[in-house]
Amino acid sequence: MNDTTTHGTGTTLLLAALALGAAFPARAANVTVNVAEVLAEVPRTLYGTGMEDVNHEIYGGLDAQRLYDESFEEVLPPQVIPHSPRGSGNKTCGRQWTDISTDGGILARDTSVAHWGKASQLLMPNAGTAGVANRGLNGWGVPCREGKKMVGRFYARGAVGSLEVKLQRQDGRITYATKVVALPAGDGWRKVDFDLTPDVTDPAARFLILASGGGKMWIDDVYLTDEPTNAFGRMGCREDIVEAFKKEGLTFLRWGGSMVNAPDYLLKNMQGERRPYEGFWFTTSSGGFMVREFAQMADLLKLPCAFSIHAYDSTEDAVALADWLKRFDGFICVQIGNEECAGYTPAGGKPVMADVRRYCENLRRLVPAMRKANPKLVFAGAVMWQMNHMDLMEETFRLTDGYVEYWDIHVGAGDVKCGDRTRRALTAFREMITRINPKTTMKAAIFEENSYIHDMKRALAHVRNLEAAREQGPFLLTSCPANALQAYAQNDNGWDQGQIFYTPDKVWLQPCGWAQQMASANHRDLLVAGKTDDADVTVSATRDREGKSVVLHLCNPSAAEKPVSFDFAGAAGLTLMKATSLSAPSLETRNPPDDPDRVSPKDVTAAFRAAPVLKPYSYTVVEFRK
């Protein structure tokens, strides 16, 4: 007898029961599954990620630009929010640049002339040199690799005797690559293209522009990146971060967040070349990677996507965007705003109905115009779901029903009980809309699962949210943990919840990213009935449409090791084919850059066949096949 096989409906699979009884005093947690009882169809789009320009997800992260504050905008920027430390300023060349002038060379940050933004950098070498150096995000460093070309450009006006670009060690004592560049003929701002190929590898170099030989020159909009090797690089993405997205097994992308609510986050600021704008999280953000780049990236990845636009944008600009999006054949959902009417008036009081009605009025203005320009688009509303303000929720639904296909419901992901709260929120939403309009076609989308952590607890919280999400079937479009990316050791605002972490030259997954990868890689189309008799252990049971493959998603958030047994009904002859486990020594365990795979999936098939055990603080996926 093969003791990994069930024989008949209702047969219990107890692997090595006597041995387990001796090794584990606690009785096994029994998992009961009825393979024939289908509860819901599980959408393939369930495994998403939510990104926004917070904690340098985009500007300083996914954006391939290796420099920071390319337009010399930051001098003494005020704090936008309490969690956002700004450091000291530099009146000659901005906060992110260093003065490297010598022998009488003069620098001046000039606000009277600029290519984009509000400032440019004046270089007056006189008898010496005048130059500026940039070391990337907050002085983090510009990575360069031996023999790998880097390409860039900047805009300049005026003239100097000689102009060079260089890659150097951070202290400036060793030069890795240098090139004399010539300013094209003409007046006004002219574009200067260059390339540099370093002769050494340095993960934290600096880039500089150096003028000599007298004269006077203004520079602005400096850009430096690795020479692209694929379509993602050519459109301005860090190629290694895109590869991490692929590794995570994502099936949906969402772009948006609080930066959408910034007054300068308007479609008119997202056109043409890179330009700075007043951001929500950072005083100076860059328009180098915005809605258009996001849509292109999603198209290249062949993934359905959703993105937010400013709720009070102009109809003309929104229609122009909708028309531009016709070039893409995939699923695109446009969300009108983000977390609108989120519970506070400008005076800090309770939410008022006027806030909701004003937002809905703008949504009803934008959506029909965009839909007429591009009938393929679908739309989502963005009033913050609040169960303690159902009068506002009902009014929002009445005003947006028939205009949008989805309501974005943000949920928590900070503890292992979050799945219960997510289930209650989705149930309340569904009951509300069907009570008001039984024929409504509106559905739900979770564009953000939020927390303040990126450890194993966050991974298990996401597993629990996925349990609730699968139960919704096609009524729920996706569930996107936030935030997709985070720069290591560069947290600005407390949202310390990146699924993928990176430094200038490394990219790796945190536990939640791995949990998403496991869930996506083991997707099956149908949710079937499953339960456990253990207070800690939960199960989400799925199978393929033919009933030949059954996958169990098992979560054990407790500190105790849990032996487990399986009782299948509605299927015969199931054989344990594979078991994969994500576990950690504690709920607080994370993946640091020097040990990026500390918490990562492990194949435990052999051990599970011998003695099926759920490790402490674990997510385990087990596949059975006929």
Once rounded to an integer, what is the mean pLDDT over residues 75-85? 42
pLDDT given at position 3: 36
Query: Hey, what CATH topology would domain 45-62+229-521 get?
Result: TIM Barrel (3.20.20)
Q: Tokens 């229609």, residue?
A: 319
pLDDT given at position 20: 41
Once rounded to an integer, what is the mean pLDDT over residues 560-589? 95
pLDDT given at position 21: 41
Tell me the two tokens of residue 290. Answer: 């915005």
Once rounded to an integer, what is the mean pLDDT over residues 178-199? 94
pLDDT-wise least confident of 85-94, 368-377, 417-426, 587-596: 85-94
For residue 395, the one-letter residue type is E
Domain segments of the chain as ranges = 12-42+525-625, 45-62+229-521, 97-226
At residue 493 the predicted structure's pLDDT band, cuts being 50, 70 and 90, is confident
pLDDT digits (tens, 9 = 90+) for 96-117: 899 999 999 999 989 899 998 8
Please give the C-alpha separations between residue 553 and each of 101, 222, 464, 579, in angstroms, as whole numbers.
Answer: 61, 49, 10, 10
pLDDT given at position 6: 40
Once rounded to an integer, what is the mean pLDDT over residues 491-499? 87
Please report the beta strands in 52-189, taking only residues with DSSP state E, as ranges in sequence order.
Answer: 97-99, 106-110, 120-124, 129-134, 142-144, 150-168, 175-180
pLDDT-wise least confident of 146-160, 332-346, 378-392, 427-441: 332-346
95-130 residues labelled b (16+ CB within 10 A) or e (exposed): bbbbebbeeebebbbeeeebbbbebbbbbbbbebbb
At residue 76 the predicted structure's pLDDT band, cuts being 50, 70 and 90, is low
Which of 484, 514, 485, 517 lies closest to 502, judged by CA? 485
Which positions ≥6 away from 159 have C-beta within 8 Å? 183, 215, 216, 217
Once rounded to an integer, what is the mean pLDDT over residues 135-144? 90
Query: Hey, what CATH topology would domain 12-42+525-625 get?
Result: Immunoglobulin-like (2.60.40)
pLDDT-wise least confident of 94-98, 241-245, 370-374, 523-527: 94-98
The pLDDT of residue 390 is above 50: yes
pLDDT-wise least confident of 81-85, 222-226, 549-553: 81-85
CATH code that applies to domain 97-226? 2.60.120.260
Tell me the two tokens of residue 317. Answer: 């600009």
Q: How far apart are CA 260 and CA 285, in angstroms?
A: 12
Once rounded to an integer, what is the mean pLDDT over residues 226-252? 97
pLDDT given at position 293: 92
pLDDT given at position 557: 97
Which positions ≥6 away from 267 have C-beta within 8 Å? 291, 309, 310, 313, 314, 317, 318, 320, 321
Which of 369, 280, 362, 392 lies closest to 323, judged by CA? 369
Helices 390-400 and 418-436, packing angle to 10 deg = 50
The pLDDT of residue 72 is above 60: yes
Per this entry, what is the length of the chain?
626
Q: How far apart are CA 467 and CA 409, in angstroms?
A: 16
Q: What is the mean pLDDT of the chain?
A: 90
Eight-state DSSP code of residue 340: B
Q: How far apart are CA 528 and CA 534, in angstroms?
A: 19
pLDDT digits (tens, 9 = 90+) for 300-352: 999 999 999 999 999 999 999 999 999 999 999 999 999 998 655 555 556 67
Tell me the two tokens of residue 342. Answer: 């989120």
pLDDT given at position 528: 98
User: How many other C-beta atoms lie within 10 A of the C-beta of residue 294?
Assistant: 21
**Through-space distance between the first and last CA atoms of the chain, rounded to whole angstroms:** 15
Q: Tokens 């030949």, residue?
A: 548
Once rounded to an integer, what is the mean pLDDT over residues 253-258? 91
Tell me the two tokens of residue 391. Answer: 């009068």
pLDDT given at position 7: 36
pLDDT given at position 23: 45
> How far is C-alpha 367 from the geometric centre of its chain's CA atoms?
25
At residue 55 the predicted structure's pLDDT band, cuts being 50, 70 and 90, is confident
In the chain, pLDDT over 70 holds for what percent of residues?
A: 91
For residue 346, the one-letter residue type is P
Q: What is the largest CA-CA distance in the chain?
A: 92
Q: How far apart are CA 258 and CA 66, in angstroms?
A: 24
For residue 88, the one-letter residue type is S
Eight-state DSSP code of residue 185: S
